[in-house]
Structure 1
Amino acid sequence: MSDPFVVVGADAAGLSAASKFRREALDREVVVFEKGRWISYAYCGMPYFIEGRVERMSNLLSLSPTEVDDRGIDLRRGREVVGVDPDEKRVAVETPDGDAFEQPYGDLLVATGGRASTGPFDVRGIDGAFTLHDMDAAAAIDAYIAEPDAYDPDRADVSAVDRERVERNAAMSAPETAAIVGGGYVGVEMAEALSGRGLDVHLFHRSGHLLSDFGEAVGERVEEALTGEGVTVHTGTPVEALVADDRIEAIRFADGDADGEDAETLPVDLAVVGVGIRPNTELLDGTGVELGEGGAVLTDEHGRTSLPDVYAAGDCATAFHAVTGEPAWMPLGLTANRAGRAIGATVAGDPSPVGDIAGTAVVKAFEMEAGRVGLVEDAAARAAGFDPVRETVTAGSRSGYYPGAAPTDVTLVADRDTGRLIGGSIAGPDRAAIRIDTLATALEADMTVPEVERLDLAYAPPFSPVWDPILVAAKVLNGTLEEEE
């Protein structure tokens, strides 16, 4: 077999592609390189492991190396692909021992994911300071939080775990006060997780409201939920520095002064930095591959890059936005799995589109749920060429007389000229998040606000009022659009 399908990265996109390819192309070899030891794990589940809702780290694994091998996939862990020669169709591979070799390919998938961006905050070498973007970090944080005599090593029950790092953190005195830098998905979820472990939690966010991509209405509801559970939220508060010797001691943050002259210091003994991620694309340096938003690899509707027979998927690649039709970078789990599966089929001879993306996402803060899709912020809508019109309504989640009904905020955004729905968000404590799927479907179908208003959504008192909150929001927004005609 001289034309193997070579995959770089053994997580969501990479193993989805390899598995689909293996089922459809039995006459070709598939080789998967993974520079680390972890494969196929649930990144989104790590805060819940740290909180203790997930009892064992092994619960977060989707596939074991043995299961991958049973599928007929040649998985090679501890092998880092450091370069690609698209002319010779070879990749350069290095081992932990410093050995190097080359692997030819017929088709190549780059599924190298992303890594945590720390901005100006370097957590390396500081005990008690972490980023959360891999399983070893989750295991280390879990061990660090526990009292030394109370830590259960069986929680990190996977052979791939960095045992030395876990034991080092487990031996330290347990923290009491935590600072989280960044109020996005990870920040909000970690605020709940650390609070659930009994810590005094401070959440810092540079912009004026949490979950910036979800819009102001959602950010305010989530902040209320966090503060109601004892989390101290600092919005509009840039963190300037981590203060540490060998172990984290404090964080320094601005106090409304752009020059930082009035900076304050908060003593902490745990810090989690979650200010974003960056795509891992260094192995393609020097190849001339086209890059897109955020430095991610630019791909077409089938996941092809600008290099011949080279594909990219997952957190390192772009996809087409369902609203704008332009390439966009939105590193989310379903995007990676779906694109990987499609590329595996394409390489096997069944051309399959990776699908559009709309940034559909959900998150929870204690009992508060939130979701978003499409272009929620006016600035993003205008940058894409739309003239946004928005309305935010509050409606009941169920019939008012049925127990459990709760206020649900829905924001819808439409294009003024066409009436097309271009984005939306939702927040509430009673099954609010799942309702975002209705809006995601409407965006994929290019529906107008009047068409959304006429959707025949299900009604029964335990589930929804006659007018679902989404229908109420569409009705109000449609009225606004009609008034402006």
Structure 2
Amino acid sequence: MDPIVIVGGDAAGMSAASKFKREHPEREVVVFERGAYVSYAACGMPYYVKGEVASLDDLLTVTPEEFVEERGVDLRLHHEVVDVDAEERVVTVEGPDGRFTQSYDQVLVATGAHAVVPPFEGMDLAGVFTMHSLPEAEAVRDFLAAERPDSVAVVGGGYVGIEMAEAFDAHDVDVHLFEMLSHVMAPFGETVAKHVEDHLRDRGVHLHLDTAVERFVGDDRVTGVDTGESVVDVDLALVGVGVAPNTDLVEAAGVELGETGAIATDEYGRTNLPGVFAAGDCAEARHVVTGEPDHVPLALTANRAGRAIGQTMAGDETPVGDIAGTAVVKAFDLTAARTGIVDEDRAREAGFDPVSVTITAASRAHYYPGAEEITITMLGDRDSGRVLGATMVGREGVAKRIDTVAVALHEGATAVDLSYYDLAYAPPYSPVWDPVLTTAKVLDGKLG
């Protein structure tokens, strides 16, 4: 029997390979990875640049040698799949020794995503970086060490931009953050954004909101950021304006894409072509609130889908699972989190009649030292009473509280259901009425 072939060796691909080999150790699994690394923690790269993570090797979940020697996976680094022939069940591969073909029984496309490179003049200047791979993170840290810049620009106020602003600040440089929208962290909503913006300013970050970058200035290396109205002098620029799914390979093979631009799949990760699966940052998944396909490239989604597809390939059909878009971001001393649908316009487009409430509550019992404020915005549907999503921001207790709301979304819980959850209480960790419970009670009152 032909082997299982995996295209891409990060979270989804290696999770699938490992799961399949556990189920069928006698079967051959071949993984083609065009880079030098597999199964690495991309989310840890800002903390490597910051210096909190000492080595790139610390970001490796499982080494290539472990996959080969302990798990029996035929791993081929520096091998890029350039064509998939679903009719013949063959992939074409470019490797160090030239081009060759590999037949397959089933194939998983786990090609991930790439950093969006805006059409700015000067993107090719020395000192201008994107960061979506370990080599890019290493290049940024090496540049900081060698050049010791006085001022850096971060273009984009999303996850990467916020985390990299903190990373650069740790190197004692002036940080300028440019965001073309009126607020940073757009998916988290205006309430969270304003808290984060105030905190960034308090930490000395220069915010340039409603500011579109036109080009980078410099001869051989970057010396400034031109916004059309002014030029801000910088010695390094990091562009983090988002990611896009890697779909060129499968588009040429006839795999259908969804409305999001990512690969369309069914609940088991199957594409429209027989024997071809897709998972991870290149693929869509079903949103738990809307029931519709969505593209939210996050680590857990990729790992979970890859593992499920590995089991399905092994003969035990396993759904990849729904997503809620649950995410958390560290912004210096603040934590911001979100889950579900947090934008009222999007909720209306999905057919809901949204109602939102915002409360601010203490993270601990009022008498216990160290209590901090948590601000929570929660959305519900007036017709059904169902919780649609929430955002949170605060200095402590945010990261795990968002998970409570995520569970409620997966259960289809109403606001009154959530208000009755039996959550843990002790003065060092929560008031008697946890802020999530309080928000749900207030939301239920407004929905009623």
* Range class of TM-score, shorter chain: over 0.9
Secondary structure, counterpart of 1:325 in structure 2: coil
CA distance in 1, matches of 2:396, 2:124: 43
Deviation of 1:121 after TM superposition, in Å, equals 2.9
Judge conservation of contact 1:179–1:270 (CA < 8 Å) in 2: yes
| 2:186 matched residue in structure 1 | 212
C-alpha offsets along residues 73-104 of structure 1, whole Å, 9 cap, x if unaligned?
0001111001111110111111245x211110
CA distance in 1, matches of 2:198, 2:317: 47
Please show how residues 66-145 of structure 1 align to structure 2 within 5 Å: 66-70=65-69, 71-96=71-96, 99-121=98-120, 125-145=124-144
Deviation of 1:304 after TM superposition, in Å, equals 0.5
Secondary structure, counterpart of 1:92 in structure 2: strand
CA distance in 1, matches of 2:366, 2:23: 52
Judge conservation of contact 2:33–2:79 (CA < 8 Å) in 1: yes
Q: Does 1:465 align with 2:431?
A: yes
Q: Does 1:299 align with 2:265?
A: yes
CA distance in 1, matches of 2:213, 2:356: 32
CA distance in 1, matches of 2:424, 2:41: 32
| Paired amino acid for 1:325 | G
| 1:438 matched residue in structure 2 | 404
C-alpha offsets along residues 125-183 of structure 1, whole Å, 9 cap, x if unaligned?
3111000100111111101111x3xxxxxxxxxxxxxxxxxxxxxxxx32111110000
CA distance in 2, matches of 1:320, 1:412: 21
| 2:336 matched residue in structure 1 | 370
| 2:27 matched residue in structure 1 | 28
Secondary structure, counterpart of 2:252 in structure 1: coil
| 1:393 matched residue in structure 2 | 359
| Paired amino acid for 1:226 | L
Counterpart pick for 2:277 among 284, 291, 311: 311
Greater shift in the superposed pair: 113-122 or 211-220: 113-122
Judge conservation of contact 2:251–2:257 (CA < 8 Å) in 1: no
| Paired amino acid for 2:279 | A
| Paired amino acid for 2:83 | G
| 1:160 matched residue in structure 2 | none
CA distance in 2, matches of 1:388, 1:382: 7
| Paired amino acid for 1:218 | V
Q: Does 1:188 align with 2:162?
A: yes
Deviation of 1:379 after TM superposition, in Å, equals 1.9
Secondary structure, counterpart of 1:103 in structure 2: strand
| Paired amino acid for 1:478 | D
Q: Does 1:54 align with 2:28?
A: no
| Paired amino acid for 2:120 | F
Q: Does 1:270 align with 2:236?
A: yes
| Runs of at least 5 residues in structure 2 that lack an aligned partner in the other structure | none
Give the TM-score normalised by structure 1: 0.90
C-alpha offsets along residues 326-350 of structure 1, whole Å, 9 cap, x if unaligned?
1111000000000000000000011
CA distance in 2, matches of 1:195, 1:293: 38
Judge conservation of contact 1:408–1:429 (CA < 8 Å) in 2: yes
Deviation of 1:381 after TM superposition, in Å, equals 1.1
| 2:13 matched residue in structure 1 | 14
| Paired amino acid for 2:207 | V
Deviation of 1:240 after TM superposition, in Å, equals 1.8
| Runs of at least 5 residues in structure 1 that lack an aligned partner in the other structure | 149-172, 254-259
Secondary structure, counterpart of 2:101 in structure 1: strand
CA distance in 2, matches of 1:448, 1:405: 29
| 2:384 matched residue in structure 1 | 418
Secondary structure, counterpart of 1:286 in structure 2: helix
Give the TM-score normalised by structure 2: 0.98
Deviation of 1:122 after TM superposition, in Å, equals 6.2
| 1:447 matched residue in structure 2 | 413
| 2:204 matched residue in structure 1 | 230
CA distance in 2, matches of 1:293, 1:198: 43
| Paired amino acid for 2:20 | F
Query: What is the RMSD of the two structures over their aligned residues, measured on CA atoms?
Result: 1.2
Name the count of aligned residue pairs.
447
CA distance in 2, matches of 1:125, 1:140: 14
Judge conservation of contact 2:33–2:76 (CA < 8 Å) in 1: yes
Secondary structure, counterpart of 2:317 in structure 1: coil
Deviation of 1:124 after TM superposition, in Å, equals 5.1
| Paired amino acid for 1:120 | P
| 1:178 matched residue in structure 2 | 152
CA distance in 1, matches of 2:226, 2:289: 40
CA distance in 2, matches of 1:177, 1:227: 16
CA distance in 1, matches of 2:288, 2:216: 39
Moved over 4 A (4+): none
| Paired amino acid for 1:465 | P
**Identity across matched positions, percent:** 54
Secondary structure, counterpart of 1:197 in structure 2: coil
| 1:341 matched residue in structure 2 | 307
Q: 1:122 to 1:130 in 2, by over 3 A?
A: farther
| 1:170 matched residue in structure 2 | none
CA distance in 2, matches of 1:305, 1:281: 12
Deviation of 1:410 after TM superposition, in Å, equals 0.4
Secondary structure, counterpart of 1:225 in structure 2: helix
C-alpha offsets along residues 348-396 of structure 1, whole Å, 9 cap, x if unaligned?
0111111000100000111100110011111221221112110111000
CA distance in 1, matches of 2:391, 2:121: 34
| Paired amino acid for 1:451 | D
| 2:220 matched residue in structure 1 | 246
Judge conservation of contact 1:427–1:433 (CA < 8 Å) in 2: no
